[in-house]
């Protein structure tokens, strides 16, 4: 189990607290006693960012078997699932301990997460700290100050938080994404230089934050994850932060971080399919789906690192790159026997100068099964195109059956707590 | 959405809007062949869904009648009938 760098700092409301300080806070609240009292895997339910970090300080600093969960995620279905999995639910605020329906043995150093639930009810995924800590093999990590916009407890959140926990000189700055103008002001004042967020987060920022305020933050490292990084958002970020290292990552709660792309291009180099280094995740294509085998996966946490995982993501090799074209369970639109992929259609739409965001899906239609429908959000300061213009733009770039037939103009970009747009 | 059956002119407006989105000329003569008008099978399917959305329910389409469609008038007759049967 990696060792916590107790002197690393976390900034709450711009005031620094060390992991040691957070651990003391957790002890003062009696959280360790509650974990001992539960004597089984435990889910610590928290109400705010500081409580989330205190719970993680405690879990990472000992040999506990547990998880941290924001109260907003504790739906009746999640509570039931935890109970059926043998997890005691500990309320960090009240100290109350809920006893689960079934007994379960603890596994030292295990840390559980919930999947985002974007494709259904969240699932419980169990890791070890060393599978969650994908930065463990990073050499010569320079001092960084990381903005942490992700929802506490998600896989993406842990990717940044484990850097703060286990790598020297990594400062974390949790931020509230409900006010992006303020978020970037805080980022500037706290001299944040690194951020990991979704493409949707950046599109929202592009809309609501003055360009000067965006550029005032001296980002050296920008990581995109959670959604496909398209050409448009990559170009926009490169133009805004020309000296930053722009990285996009393919990861999931179960498969772990698998693909890291640093060349500023969409998709990933096909060469990754051929790499053969047991310390790195392996990826392969099978029937158009992406499979991964990773030392950072939840399987590896169970001692089954050699087990391949079907990610359910559809990919297509085009020349020397591989592109994501959607989810196998929901993505393909069957238009009279022709396969249209939302990700491909979205990539074309996003190349239109007036389209800032879009989402494409199939709608059930008589005679051909399905037709593509697009939700679009137009950039401000430009005349909004007519549907005729959008169709004309798509012609020649998409087969006729893949050109959206229905267009919905949205007044805002939908943003979920995962910082992603809804599927 | 409405439960009121669509009138022929309303269906024709939808048909012409579909053609306009494709950058094609509107139907002025109902006797025009679909091939000449550039009204293709995907346009036909789109029109069916737009009609269903307008009337607020799924329609039962007459497959036998559909096979004989060749002109704009045939299309309008087809959807008029489907709306009446709904």
**pLDDT at res. A197:** 95
- Closest alpha carbon within chain A to B43: A405
Paired with A283 in beta bridges are A292
End-to-end CA distance of chain B: 15
Q: Tell me whether residue A79 is in a domain.
A: yes
Q: Which residues contact A211 (CB under 8 A, 6 or more apart)?
A: A240
The alpha carbon of A311 is separated from its chain's Cα centroid by a whole number of angstroms, namely: 15
Same domain, A120 and A220: no
**pLDDT at res. A420:** 73
A412 three-state secondary structure: coil
Instruction: Give the domain ranges of chain B.
Output: 8-85
Where on the phi/psi map is residue A408: left (φ > 0), alpha (ψ -120 to 50), or beta?
A: beta
**pLDDT at res. A138:** 72
Q: Tell me whether residue A9 is in a domain.
A: no
Interchain pair B21, A391: CB under 8 A: yes
Rg (CA), chain A: 22
Does the CA dihedral A143-A146-A152-A157 come out positive or negative? negative
The shortest C-alpha distance from B81 to chain A (Å) reads: 16
Q: Tell me whether residue A272 is in a domain.
A: yes
- CB contacts of B59 in chain A (<8 Å) are 366
**pLDDT at res. A423:** 55
**pLDDT at res. A245:** 96
Same domain, A141 and A122: no
Same domain, A373 and A312: no
Q: Is the pLDDT of residue A108 over 50?
A: yes
Across A271-295, average pLDDT: 88
Q: Can you tell me the distance from the alpha carbon of A174 to that of A148, in angstroms, rounded to the nearest whole number? A: 5
Chain B 3-62, residues with CB within 8 Å of chain A CB atoms:
20-23, 40-42, 44-46, 48-49, 52, 58-59, 61
The shortest C-alpha distance from B62 to chain A (Å) reads: 12
The shortest C-alpha distance from B41 to chain A (Å) reads: 9
User: Predicted confidence band at B37 (pLDDT cuts at 50, 70, 90)?
Assistant: very high
Q: Is the pLDDT of residue A123 over 50?
A: yes
Q: Can you tell me the distance from the alpha carbon of A205 to that of A188, in angstroms, rounded to the nearest whole number? A: 14
Q: What is the CATH number of the domain that holds A385?
A: 3.30.300.30
Where does a domain end: A289, A309, A325?
A325
Q: Can you tell me the distance from the alpha carbon of A405 to that of A248, in angstroms, rounded to the nearest whole number? A: 32
Chain segment A216-241, per-residue pLDDT in tens: 999 999 999 988 898 888 999 999 99
Q: Can you tell me the distance from the alpha carbon of A355 to that of B35, in angstroms, rounded to the nearest whole number? A: 33
Where does a domain end: A129, A154, A182?
A129
- Residue A187: half-sphere exposure toward Cβ, Cα within 13 Å: 29
Q: Tell me whether residue A63 is in a domain.
A: yes
**pLDDT at res. B4:** 60
Interchain pair B59, A405: CB under 8 A: no
Q: Tell me whether residue A222 is in a domain.
A: yes
Same domain, A373 and A270: no
Q: Can you tell me the distance from the alpha carbon of B69 to that of B80, in angstroms, rounded to the nearest whole number? A: 13
Whether residue A337 lies within 8 A of chain B, CB to CB, comes out as: no
CA A37 vs CA A52, A95, A205, A358: distances in Å = 20, 11, 45, 50
- Complex-level ipTM: 0.91
Same domain, A275 and A148: yes
Q: What is the mean pLDDT of chain A?
A: 91
Chain A 70-129, residues with CB within 8 Å of chain B CB atoms:
none
Across A55-61, average pLDDT: 95
Paired with A194 in beta bridges are A146, A221
Same domain, A26 and A153: no
Q: Are the C-beta atoms of residues A221 and A152 closer than 8 Å to each other?
A: no
Burial of A225 per CB tally in 10 Å (0-12, 13-18, 19+): buried
Q: What is the largest CA-CA distance in chain A?
A: 66
CATH number corresponding to B8-85: 1.10.1200.10
**pLDDT at res. A121:** 72
Same domain, A155 and A295: yes
Same domain, A137 and A118: no
Whether residue A371 lies within 8 A of chain B, CB to CB, comes out as: yes
Q: Is the pLDDT of residue A8 over 90?
A: yes
Question: How many structural domains is chain A composed of?
Answer: 3
Where does a domain end: A104, A129, A154?
A129
Q: Is the pLDDT of residue B18 over 90?
A: yes
The shortest C-alpha distance from A380 to chain B (Å) reads: 23
Q: Is the pLDDT of residue B1 over 50?
A: no
Element (H, E) at A67: strand A66-70
pTM value is 0.77
Same domain, A307 and A393: no
Q: Tell me whether residue A156 is in a domain.
A: yes
Same domain, A54 and A39: yes
Burial of A365 per CB tally in 10 Å (0-12, 13-18, 19+): buried
Q: Which residues contact B7 (CB under 8 A, 6 or more apart)?
A: none
Same domain, A75 and A114: yes
Element (H, E) at A388: helix A387-394
Chain segment A380-416, per-residue pLDDT in tens: 888 889 999 999 999 999 989 999 999 999 998 887 7
Domain extent for A20: 16-129
Interchain pair B21, A368: CB under 8 A: no
Element (H, E) at A82: helix A76-84
Same domain, A224 and A321: yes
């Amino acid at each position: 189990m990696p060792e916590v760098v107790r002197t690393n700092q976390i900034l709450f409301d711009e005031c620094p607290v060390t992991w040691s300080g957070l651990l003391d806070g957790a002890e003062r609240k009696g959280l360790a006693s509650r974990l001992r009292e539960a004597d089984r895997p435990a889910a610590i339910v928290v109400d705010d960012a500081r409580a989330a970090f205190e719970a993680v300080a405690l879990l990472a600093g000992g040999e506990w078997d547990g998880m941290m969960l924001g109260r907003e995620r504790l739906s009746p279905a999640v509570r039931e699932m935890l109970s059926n999995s043998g997890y005691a639910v500990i309320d960090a605020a009240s100290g109350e301990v809920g006893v689960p329906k079934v007994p379960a043995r603890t596994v030292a150093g295990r840390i559980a997460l919930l999947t985002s639930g974007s494709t259904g009810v969240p699932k419980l995924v169990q890791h070890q700290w060393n599978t969650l800590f994908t930065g463990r093999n990073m050499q010569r990590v320079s001092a960084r100050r990381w903005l942490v916009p992700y929802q506490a407890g998600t896989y993406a959140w842990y990717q940044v938080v484990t850097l703060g926990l286990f790598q020297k000189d990594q400062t974390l700055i949790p931020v509230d994404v409900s006010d992006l103008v303020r978020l970037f002001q805080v980022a500037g004042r706290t001299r944040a230089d690194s951020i990991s967020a979704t493409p949707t987060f950046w599109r929202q920022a592009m809309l609501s934050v003055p360009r000067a305020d965006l550029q005032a933050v001296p980002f050296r490292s920008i990581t995109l994850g959670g959604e496909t990084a398209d050409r448009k958002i990559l170009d926009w970020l490169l133009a805004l932060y020309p000296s930053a290292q722009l990285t996009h990552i393919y990861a999931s709660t179960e498969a772990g971080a698998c693909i890291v792309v640093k060349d500023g291009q969409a998709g990933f180099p096909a060469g990754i399919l051929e790499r053969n280094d047991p310390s790195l995740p392996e990826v392969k294509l099978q029937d158009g789906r992406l499979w991964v085998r990773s030392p950072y996966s939840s399987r590896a946490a169970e001692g089954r690192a050699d087990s391949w995982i079907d990610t359910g993501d559809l990919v297509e090799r085009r020349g020397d790159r591989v592109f994501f074209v959607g989810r196998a369970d929901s993505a393909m639109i069957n238009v009279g026997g022709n396969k249209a992929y939302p990700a491909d259609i979205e990539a074309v739409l996003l190349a239109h100068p007036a389209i800032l965001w879009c989402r494409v899906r199939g709608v059930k239609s008589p005679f051909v099964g399905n037709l593509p429908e697009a939700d679009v959000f137009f950039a401000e300061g430009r005349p909004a195109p007519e549907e005729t213009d959008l169709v004309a733009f798509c012609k020649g770039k998409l087969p006729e059956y893949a050109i959206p037939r229905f267009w919905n103009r949205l007044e805002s970009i939908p943003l979920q707590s995962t910082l992603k747009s809804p599927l | 959405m409405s439960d009121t059956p669509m009138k022929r002119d309303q269906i024709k407006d939808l048909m012409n809007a579909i053609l306009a989105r494709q950058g094609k000329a509107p139907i002025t003569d109902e006797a025009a062949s679909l091939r000449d008008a550039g009204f293709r099978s995907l346009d036909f399917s789109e029109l069916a869904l737009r009609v269903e959305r307008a009337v607020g329910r799924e329609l039962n389409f007459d497959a036998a009648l559909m096979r004989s469609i060749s002109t704009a008038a045939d299309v309008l007759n087809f959807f008029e009938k489907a709306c009446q049967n709904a």
